[in-house]
Amino acid sequence: MMNTVVKNYRQWRNYRDTVEELNRLSTRDLNDLGISRSDISDIAREAATAK
């Protein structure tokens, strides 16, 4: 049970950190990376579960 709680917390933190980091980028920088603002949550969700 504790492992699940720790894993979920780490995934949530990774998601939140990724969203914050991508939101700090300018629209131009995001475009250079091929990312639209509407894609940020999907990308963050994918990154959170990848680790």
Q: Residue 51 carries which DSSP code? A: -
pLDDT in tens, 34-49: 999 999 999 999 999 9
* Half-sphere exposure in the Cβ direction for 26 (13 Å, CA): 3
4/23 Cα distance (integer angstroms): 28
**What's the pTM?**
0.85
d(CA 42, CA 28): 19
* pLDDT on residue 1: 81
11, 17, 23, 29 alpha-carbon torsion, rounded to 10°: -100
Tell me: pLDDT of 51 over 70.
no
